[in-house]
Amino acid sequence: MLSDLSPGIKISITRSISTAFDQYMAKILWDETSYNFEDFMNEWRLYITNNSSWYSKVSDEIKSSPEFHQELAVKINEVIEKIFSEAPTSEQIETLDRLQKQLGTDYDYSCKTEAKFYIDYLSEQLKKK
């Protein structure tokens, strides 16, 4: 069912999952012990109904289909796994090392998206100093 959608809609679905995940993880400051799948799903539902272009383009029949929901669950897991599997770049590592030294922090990060969050977060902290 998901595979029957246009390439543009499939890309938009993937992007909406990624964006909502980034927003949710930023909201909990990338504290993995605070991660709650149901909370993330609520964040994603809000995002797709308020900000996503694909949601209104998919028929209510498809959106209410259990098969579609199962395929979306698989897609969500794939997107999240991909996010966690992308290692930080050497530039991100250097930037974070410098920022953490300046601010006296010691945040752990394991993926590119988490590194980006901490670069943005610590840069904001530095501006406030």
Mean per-residue pLDDT of the chain: 96
**96, 108 contact by CB (below 8 A):** no
Q: Residue 85's pLDDT band (boundaries 50, 70, 90)?
A: very high
- What percent of the chain has pLDDT above 70? 100
Determine the pLDDT at residue 16: 97
CB half-sphere exposure, 74, CA atoms < 13 A: 8
Distance separating alpha carbons of residues 94 and 100, to the nearest angstrom: 10
Digit-coded pLDDT (tens) for 35-70: 999 999 999 999 999 999 999 999 999 999 999 999
Distance separating alpha carbons of residues 10 and 54, to the nearest angstrom: 8
When pLDDT is averaged across residues 7-34 and rounded to a whole number, the result is 96
Residue 30: closest CA among 99, 81, 84, 103: 84
Determine the pLDDT at residue 5: 95
CB half-sphere exposure, 83, CA atoms < 13 A: 22
When pLDDT is averaged across residues 15-31 and rounded to a whole number, the result is 96
Tell me the two tokens of residue 57. Answer: 């383009």
When pLDDT is averaged across residues 91-108 and rounded to a whole number, the result is 97
Determine the pLDDT at residue 90: 98
- Helices 7-27 and 37-50: crossing angle in degrees, nearest 10, is 130
Does the pLDDT at position 129 exceed 80? no
Does the pLDDT at position 72 exceed 90? yes
